[in-house]
Amino acid sequence: MFQIRSINKVFKEDNLPLELVKGVGYFYYIFDLCKSHNIYETESEYIYRLSDLTKDEWIRRGREFALEMFHEHGINNG
């Protein structure tokens, strides 16, 4: 079994300004580049339980969201 913090640890290791958060009955990703680019975006995942996806699926979806945000805002992430 995995926890949200293990997913967020991967995002931190990837140097992504991204966090997975649990809401009521869903999860959401927070993309936060407020300090450097004044960008704050969220992406909701209407999935009830963390275990409904594998850890790799959560990570893949988060990375895809982050890449979309970098592209949408014209930021070179590396």
The verdict on residue 78 lying in a domain is no
Residue 58 included in any domain: yes
Within-domain flag for 77:
no
CA distances from 59 to 2, 27, 38, 47 (A): 12, 13, 24, 14
The total of structural domains in the chain comes to 1
Percent of the chain with pLDDT over 70: 99
What pLDDT score does 1 carry?
85
Structural domain range at position 61: 4-72
15 domain residue, yes or no: yes
Mean pLDDT of the chain: 95
Q: Is 49 a member of any domain?
A: yes
